Amino acid sequence: MMSRNKTIKINHNPAKSDGALAQDVSRAFLDSMLLLQNKFSRRTSPLPLNQFATLFVLLNEHAASITDIAHYLNISKQQMTTIIERLVQNHLVEKQPSETDRRCVIITMTPDGKKIIDDQFDSMRKIFADHLHKLSEGEVKDLHGIIQKYNAYIQKMFP
């Protein structure tokens, strides 16, 4: 079992191959994603992760087919159908027939679904802000710069 507080230190070794460095960076990225998931989403989300992830996709895409959402989340269409049905039952998403393909159903988020996302983000911001006092002013400034650089790199990698 992996420790929740596990950190990976990347010491750039010029002798290390680019492939090995890329693997180290990928592992560190995944560790940061898991750490954020464990520290924020599990504490604050009223929904299972798969349902929250589906709402998050719809927040960015506004409307998508079940197949597209399943592909985006890398799960089967059958699993996605079950998730969508639960979200429909809870009035968090709606299904509408596609205007261009009668076989396709388009999923959109309802205002209740948007409220869940907004509340989740508010909770995460509050938790984060509540823990900033553990850092010095200099560390908070450093963290801010690191997060800005991190976001810029991710946007550059995935335009």
- pLDDT higher than 50, residue 2: no
Sign of the CA dihedral with 48 first, then 54, 59, and 62 last: negative
Dump pLDDT digits (tens) for 147-159. Answer: 999 999 989 988 8
Note the helical H segments in the chain: 18-36, 42-44, 49-61, 66-73, 77-89, 111-131, 137-157
- Rounded Cα–Cα distance for residues 112 and 92 (Å): 5
Work out the mean pLDDT of the chain and round it to a whole number: 85
- pLDDT higher than 50, residue 8: no
- Rounded Cα–Cα distance for residues 156 and 128 (Å): 25
Kindly state the average pLDDT of the residues 108-133: 90
Dump pLDDT digits (tens) for 28-43. Answer: 888 888 887 777 666 6
